[in-house]
Amino acid sequence: MRLPTLRQLQYLSAVVEEKHFGKAAEKCFVTQSTLSAGIQDLEDLLETALLERTNRKVLTTPMGEEIARRARQILSQTDDLVDLAHSANNPLAGRIRIGVIPTISPFLLPRVLPTVRKQLPQLEVLLVEDQSERLLEQIEAGTIDVAVLAFPFNTRNLSTQIFTAERFWVALPKNHALSQQKQIAPDMLPVGELLLLADGHCMREHALSACQLPVTSQRKSFQATSLYTLIEMVASGLGITLIPEMAVHSDMVKHADIDLRPLSGDDMAKRDIGLVWRPSFRRTLALTQLAQSFVSALNDSVK
């Protein structure tokens, strides 16, 4: 029985992702006619239509969506196999693709990357910034190898390793009534003034959990898409917000005209930070060393 080739699966995956034959062909470094012929051969082999072709756009059939999803898994595992073979002689060398969420990357990366370069000089780090759910999809698709996420978060069947934890701080406008407090308990927060990130950012749920508040708690008139925007809103006197501890000493926060107070409470008033990767990704020694480098850099930065 004739089986699909990896090249055919790559063509299909590219077309489904790009929704365009020309862009998919460029991504695969082939001509459009070569890509089209490869997908036609795949459809003939599987005896089913995978794509609906029109003059203006490409649509995917339900079977095409499922085949493309499985194709991405196969291609991802193939990439992992090649990475494993290449790292046999030196597992701490070669390329590793890391995804980081926006509420971690601007505060963590400047502190840890110099240490990573020093401790793992042969490791080539490629970085991608995106929201948690999309990073999980990229891990499963094999477009990145590992992600740095905040927990708790549903990572489905992926492997995880927590390497640090951090508490939340309350950001207040200057001369706010709560600025007189050394620490702020969750039940002291004026919910009507609370500014949070928009849906889709895991820190929104973590902040609400830290305050022991329901998901509907916050000012209804405003949701931000970045911590920078939240800080600017607080500095303008429009409300209060919660920020992670690693952001407290960042230039963005130090130069903002705001007051900061630690959020008191139990283990709920924090978030864990860790790595997430595919179980099929076998370069676990590189991941372990990477996590150790992160911890080493974070410890040095607070001395």
Q: Which of 297, 284, 303, 267 is nearest to 117 (CA)?
A: 297
pLDDT at position 222 over 60? yes
With beta carbons less than 8 A apart as the criterion, state whether 166 and 246 touch.
Answer: yes
CA–CA dist 287, 124 (Å, integer):
13
CA–CA dist 261, 271 (Å, integer):
17
CA–CA dist 134, 187 (Å, integer):
33
Task: Supply the Cα-derived Rg of the chain in whole angstroms.
Answer: 23
Can you say whether residue 123 is alpha, beta or left, with left for phi > 0 and alpha for psi between -120 and 50 degrees? Answer: beta
Judge whether 86-162+273-301 and 165-270 match in fold.
yes
CA–CA dist 22, 28 (Å, integer):
10
Write the DSSP assignment of 15-38 as a string of letters. Answer: HHHHS-HHHHHHHHTS-HHHHHHH
Model pLDDT, residue 5: 92
- Distance separating the N- and C-terminal Cα atoms of the chain: 64
Q: Which of 115, 120, 74 is nearest to 96 (CA)?
A: 120
Using the structure block, give the residue that is written with the tokens 């900061």.
260
- Fold exhibited by the domain 6-74: Arc Repressor Mutant, subunit A (1.10.10)
Output the CA–CA distances (angstroms, integers) from residue 110 to 7, 62, 131, 221, 235, in the order listed: 38, 44, 19, 33, 24
What does pTM read for this prediction? Answer: 0.71
With beta carbons less than 8 A apart as the criterion, state whether 111 and 245 touch.
Answer: no
Q: What is the 3-state secondary structure (H, E, C) of 113-179?
A: HHHHHHHCCCEEEEEEECCHHHHHHHHHHCCCCEEEEEECCCCCCCEEEEEEEEEEEEEEECCCHHH
pLDDT tens by residue, 156-213: 889 999 999 888 999 999 989 999 999 998 888 888 888 888 766 787 788 778 777 6
pLDDT tens by residue, 109-153: 988 888 888 888 888 888 999 999 999 999 988 889 999 999 888
pLDDT tens by residue, 65-108: 999 988 988 887 787 777 666 666 666 777 889 999 988 998 88
Q: What's at 31, amino acid-wise? A: T
Q: Which of 122, 154, 127 is nearest to 143 (CA)?
A: 127
Model pLDDT, residue 38: 93
Instruction: Report the percent of the chain where pLDDT is more than 70.
Output: 90
3-state secondary structure at position 289: helix
Model pLDDT, residue 88: 61
Which residues, listed in sequence order, are joined to residue 285 by a DSSP beta bridge? none
The CATH-assigned architecture of domain 165-270 is 3-Layer(aba) Sandwich (3.40)
With beta carbons less than 8 A apart as the criterion, state whether 240 and 216 touch.
Answer: no
Q: Where are the domains of the chain?
A: 6-74, 86-162+273-301, 165-270
Q: What is the mean pLDDT of the segment spanning 228-255?
A: 89
- Residue 268's pLDDT band (cuts 50, 70, 90): low
3-state secondary structure at position 197: strand
Was domain 86-162+273-301 assigned CATH 3.40.190.10?
yes
